[in-house]
Amino acid sequence: MEQTARDVMATDVVSVRPDTSVRHAAEIMLARGLSGLPVIDDDGRLAGVITEGDLMRRAELRDALGSAETSGASEPDRSRDYVTGHSWRVGDVMSTPAVAVEETTPLGEIAALFDRRAIKRVPVLRAGVLVGIVSRSDLLRGIVTAAPDRTAAGDAAIRLGIVTRLRHDLGLAEPLPDVVVTRGIVHLSGIVRSETERAAVRVVAEGVRGVAGVDDRLVVQPQEPSGPEAA
């Protein structure tokens, strides 16, 4: 069964409220070694997230490092930057809307979200209410604790498992590479389109339960010449 946020999330969530002071939020982040904190409203719902990035725009840092150049900013931008840099309330500084996932979100989708949004942790919601946090280290824990492949033992079952994954996981078009399994040894032959595809076929074979080894005799199809040279 595919693992979801519910399987790996931390439930002892440290959060702050919109009327918490920015200084106190920063103290919590330092003391706990956290890069961000969820911000919860009076109904227990996620209002936003305050992160290290949000605090980098504070006036305290600009005063210490020299005033930031704002002459080219528009009036709305200058007003917003002033509020972000000077307000004592978390609610004025936090990022909103917050990036969040449901507790049923698969770990693969969360990993893709981390990569796409360049974030390190994400709040987990149940019916809009915060119930946990998933961090990058939680995803690693999910890899370590993942249940082994449940494909049944036996050469025929191993071959079926490999062929099924080649079709559905890799999306390979017919004809598929030849797969022969003898006493747990997988013999791969036939044509693939690239070295990357060859490696993916091997990884699929190695990942099926009961495989004792892989004999890779796949051949990469030569690329057709293109452009003026093909004429």
pLDDT at 226: 58
pLDDT at 20: 95
Rounded to an integer, what is the distance from CA 209 to the centroid of its chain? Answer: 26
Tell me the C-alpha distance between 135 and 140, whole Å: 9
From first to last of its 231 residues, what are the pLDDT tens digits of the chain? Answer: 678 999 999 999 999 999 999 999 999 999 998 888 999 998 888 999 998 888 887 766 665 444 545 455 555 567 777 877 788 899 988 988 889 999 999 988 998 898 888 888 899 999 889 999 998 888 887 777 665 555 556 888 899 889 988 988 888 888 899 999 999 999 999 999 899 999 999 999 998 888 999 999 999 987 766 555 554
The whole-model pTM stands at 0.58
Residue 43: how many CB atoms within 10 A of its CB? 8
pLDDT at 72: 52
Residue that is written with structure tokens 């982040």 in the block: 29
pLDDT at 60: 67
Tell me the C-alpha distance between 114 and 43, whole Å: 27
Domains plus CATH for the chain? 5-145 (3.10.580.10), 155-220 (3.30.1340.30)
Tell me the C-alpha distance between 136 and 225, whole Å: 43
pLDDT at 199: 94
pLDDT at 1: 64
Q: How far is residue 193 from each of residues 52, 162, 199, 216, measured CA to CA in Å?
A: 45, 18, 11, 15
